A and B are shown apart, each in its own frame.
Chain A
């Protein structure tokens, strides 16, 4: 720990720079409040910026996110800390919070970096690209992805060999290996928790063969293959790079499943799978797409019509949970299931399988609160203590929750939730001003 912490003062600390945290920060900033937006990742935009299109309108996800992200990035009332975490949040009194924010070194001066990518070319180290969900590789000196914000390089110090090649080619000399961890003491009057969710890890269901069978991928990997900034510029199966023509979706992978400890519905898997199926029909006009489901939950505005549209386009819907997946020599996969409508066990062959993984809580933040407890619900999401009347209220007065930190939800609901959190934060701050 550094001896002399830098002291900063803001009105609101927003933890998490995804679409909900971003929306909340933007609303607060537009009304004149000074916001510190703390993001653990190297870029803001959260998971939404990685997506292809959104349901049920099929709007381009990045086209909605990027303008919003630029607005957040350039707002005079918003300060963004990427690669940073809120470690200790202490409530000293009403409207008086203190947080220790730890910023990890990026080894690049973001202000000077032009995003020219020369360091990327020079770097000799190749590792798996986490932003493309393992589909391709990246360098140890890298820009997270093309529409990242800030679009600046970073050094992955764990994989870096310290050869100095990037430093030598950098035209602005912005690479700085002397950077160290920085600690800030932040004084704020209110806190918003918008820490989002974690995706279910399908390695926990070994009978689906994820990680063992190369042509079994997650829905997020498919999302990347469908996105405008996609790595292959087409749809390929990872096993042998063939274009798939018979794709299966396995719904409820890690959702509504007590055996993996997540008994609740993830709310989005049915719809994003239906969306991906429609996009696949466009990308691979000859391909067959089959969705194996338990129940299709198309509950939102325009959702059922979207489902009907997929049926109309020829997407196969089969009721039955996939029991197990086995691999053939040619990399194709055999899915065993019970066709519920017929009551018979069946086996189907597909050349690519997409596991529609669920949304899990990301409860890490709750341990950062020191003197008061940020309560979690039975599924480890942040407890909404007055869900109907005050949806953003948590167990600590002055700490609000936004987006999927409180429950699985889709993008429109996350943005609504971010809006609600900003409104409730403002009303909390106004109480202090009137006193």
Chain B
């Protein structure tokens, strides 16, 4: 028997949704969507489940992750019910559902909580730096170790359990008996979608968005690898240094384009910006910028006298690694690709 949550649309609104009750079920959104097909029908089905308050059903749905938000459904919706933004809000809501700590939900819904957390982390970094007497060498050293530790811990204690929860909800709760072999045979799907986001190409809007996004993902992952494993800030290898410059510059340029689009609200996807969207793109941009500047200062031998720039970079890095990556928009990188894998598994 279905359980109805009468307050669900209100709850969803706190994640950014619009007036989903405006929907009169014409199905235009589903019909114009180039990613929707016979087996995976959305967004109207998701709108319907939301209006009815069937959150149990939504919690086990993979459909929100199948939408790559071209915004065609919102532009053509005869009721201006913003189905595209509903799908986006459902992704935020699902992120909160998967998260065992509950912090995701809190941070998505309360800007005050986010700002407080950011300020606390900034204060922590400054305090830590003062304890280290603002010694550049030891700061760079701990910064490097912090990165490795943060990645390991966030993955082991937050992201991995959350993905297991996602699997329990979307796969295990519905299909109890799936041979393990199926998981392996369709594993390719996970990596293909994780590193190419090729599904975006199915959207009717231009290829530019996909290319920009792809450059961003690749540069981000590469910069992560370069700083963590190739020790970009500590190396003397000219090739690695140049590589880091290119990657951080690419991140900065692409995110600036995204910020500009969100400011201009030029496309449907950039029209509605939730604080989490701003946070994600601005912090990524600042990461690229500050990393670039820090390495530049090292190369110009200016870091010794300008250690503040590294502290700024470290603050941004800490906020990124401890808030945005485990609890914020960063997780869509994982959930989207896992959703594609799970979909292949249950097919």
Please give the residue numbers on chain A whose beta carbons come within 8 Å of chain B beta carbons, in ascending order. Answer: 207, 252, 256-259, 263, 294-295, 320-324, 336-340, 343-346
- Residues of chain A within 8 A (CB-CB) of B24 are 256, 294-295
User: A258-B80, A323-B76 are known contacts; what are 16 more A-B pairs with Cβ within 8 Å?
Assistant: A252-B78, A256-B78, A259-B75, A294-B26, A295-B24, A320-B31, A321-B28, A323-B30, A323-B31, A324-B31, A338-B41, A338-B44, A343-B41, A344-B41, A345-B36, A345-B41
The complex places the Cα of A336 from the Cα of B73 at a distance, in Å, of 14
Q: Does B79 belong to the interface (CB within 8 Å)? A: yes
Q: Are A337's CB and B31's CB within 8 A? A: yes
The complex places the Cα of A321 from the Cα of B36 at a distance, in Å, of 15
Pull 5 A–B residue pairs with CB atoms less than 8 Å apart, ordered by A.
A257-B78, A258-B80, A323-B32, A338-B27, A345-B37
Q: Does B273 belong to the interface (CB within 8 Å)? A: no
- Residues of chain A within 8 A (CB-CB) of B45 are 343
The complex places the Cα of A338 from the Cα of B48 at a distance, in Å, of 13
| Residue interface bits B36-48, CB-to-A below 8 A is 1, else 0 | 1110010011000
Query: Which B17-74 residues have a C-beta within 8 angstroms of A?
Result: 24-33, 36-38, 41, 44-45
- Residues of chain A within 8 A (CB-CB) of B222 are none
The complex places the Cα of A336 from the Cα of B32 at a distance, in Å, of 8
Q: Are A321's CB and B78's CB within 8 A? A: yes
The complex places the Cα of A165 from the Cα of B101 at a distance, in Å, of 89
Distance of B266 from chain A, by nearest CB (Å) = 18
Q: Does B126 belong to the interface (CB within 8 Å)? A: no
Of chain B, the residue at the smallest CB distance from A338 is B27
- Residues of chain B within 8 A (CB-CB) of A338 are 27-28, 30-31, 41, 44
Distance of A332 from chain B, by nearest CB (Å) = 18
Q: Are B31's CB and A321's CB within 8 A? A: yes
- Residues of chain A within 8 A (CB-CB) of B77 are 258-259
Please give the residue numbers on chain B whose beta carbons come within 8 Å of chain A beta carbons, in ascending order. Answer: 24-33, 36-38, 41, 44-45, 75-80
Of chain A, the residue at the smallest CB distance from B25 is A340
Of chain A, the residue at the smallest CB distance from B74 is A259
- Residues of chain A within 8 A (CB-CB) of B36 are 345
State the 7 A-B residue pairs at the shortest beta-carbon distance, nearest first.
A323-B31, A338-B27, A321-B26, A257-B78, A338-B30, A323-B32, A321-B28
Q: Are B27's CB and A323's CB within 8 A? A: yes
- Residues of chain A within 8 A (CB-CB) of B31 are 320-324, 336-338, 345
Distance of A345 from chain B, by nearest CB (Å) = 5
Q: Are B76's CB and A207's CB within 8 A? A: yes
Interface SS, B side: loop
- Residues of chain B within 8 A (CB-CB) of A324 are 31-32
Q: Are A259's CB and B78's CB within 8 A? A: yes
Of chain A, the residue at the smallest CB distance from B40 is A345
Q: Are B27's CB and A320's CB within 8 A? A: yes
Distance of B87 from chain A, by nearest CB (Å) = 15
Distance of A52 from chain B, by nearest CB (Å) = 28
Of chain A, the residue at the smallest CB distance from B27 is A338
- Residues of chain A within 8 A (CB-CB) of B33 are 323, 345
Most buried by B among A256, A263, A338, A344: A338
The complex places the Cα of A339 from the Cα of B36 at a distance, in Å, of 13
Q: Are A207's CB and B32's CB within 8 A? A: yes
The complex places the Cα of A17 from the Cα of B31 at a distance, in Å, of 42
The complex places the Cα of A295 from the Cα of B76 at a distance, in Å, of 19
- Residues of chain A within 8 A (CB-CB) of B44 are 338, 343
Distance of A174 from chain B, by nearest CB (Å) = 51
- Residues of chain A within 8 A (CB-CB) of B76 are 207, 259, 323
Of chain B, the residue at the smallest CB distance from A258 is B80
- Residues of chain A within 8 A (CB-CB) of B79 are 258
Q: A343-B45, A344-B38 are in contact. Are A337 and B78 (CB under 8 A)?
A: no
The complex places the Cα of A338 from the Cα of B24 at a distance, in Å, of 13
Q: A259-B77, A259-B78, A345-B36 are in contact. Are A320 and B41 (CB under 8 A)?
A: no
Distance of A264 from chain B, by nearest CB (Å) = 11
- Residues of chain B within 8 A (CB-CB) of A252 are 26, 78
Q: Are A323's CB and B28's CB within 8 A? A: yes
The complex places the Cα of A340 from the Cα of B28 at a distance, in Å, of 10
The answer, among B27, B37, B38, B75, for a CB contact under 8 Å with A337, is: B27
The complex places the Cα of A257 from the Cα of B24 at a distance, in Å, of 11
Of chain B, the residue at the smallest CB distance from A205 is B76
Distance of B73 from chain A, by nearest CB (Å) = 9
Q: Are A320's CB and B26's CB within 8 A? A: yes
- Residues of chain B within 8 A (CB-CB) of A337 are 27, 31
Most buried by A among B30, B38, B79: B30
The complex places the Cα of A336 from the Cα of B25 at a distance, in Å, of 16
The complex places the Cα of A320 from the Cα of B31 at a distance, in Å, of 9
The complex places the Cα of A322 from the Cα of B29 at a distance, in Å, of 10
The complex places the Cα of A337 from the Cα of B38 at a distance, in Å, of 11
The complex places the Cα of A345 from the Cα of B41 at a distance, in Å, of 7
Distance of A413 from chain B, by nearest CB (Å) = 24
- Residues of chain A within 8 A (CB-CB) of B41 are 338, 343-345
Distance of B76 from chain A, by nearest CB (Å) = 5
Of chain B, the residue at the smallest CB distance from A256 is B78
- Residues of chain B within 8 A (CB-CB) of A321 are 26-28, 31, 78
Distance of B134 from chain A, by nearest CB (Å) = 57
Of chain A, the residue at the smallest CB distance from B44 is A338
- Residues of chain B within 8 A (CB-CB) of A344 are 38, 41
- Residues of chain A within 8 A (CB-CB) of B80 are 258-259
Q: A323-B32, A343-B45, A344-B41 are in contact. Are A258 and B27 (CB under 8 A)?
A: no
- Residues of chain A within 8 A (CB-CB) of B25 are 340
Distance of B309 from chain A, by nearest CB (Å) = 49
Most buried by B among A252, A321, A324, A336: A321
The complex places the Cα of A293 from the Cα of B7 at a distance, in Å, of 31
The complex places the Cα of A99 from the Cα of B37 at a distance, in Å, of 60
- Residues of chain B within 8 A (CB-CB) of A207 are 32, 76
- Residues of chain A within 8 A (CB-CB) of B32 are 207, 323-324, 336
- Residues of chain B within 8 A (CB-CB) of A295 are 24
Distance of A208 from chain B, by nearest CB (Å) = 11
Of chain B, the residue at the smallest CB distance from A251 is B26
Q: A323-B32, A345-B37, A345-B41 are in contact. Are A340 and B27 (CB under 8 A)?
A: yes
Most buried by A among B28, B36, B37: B28
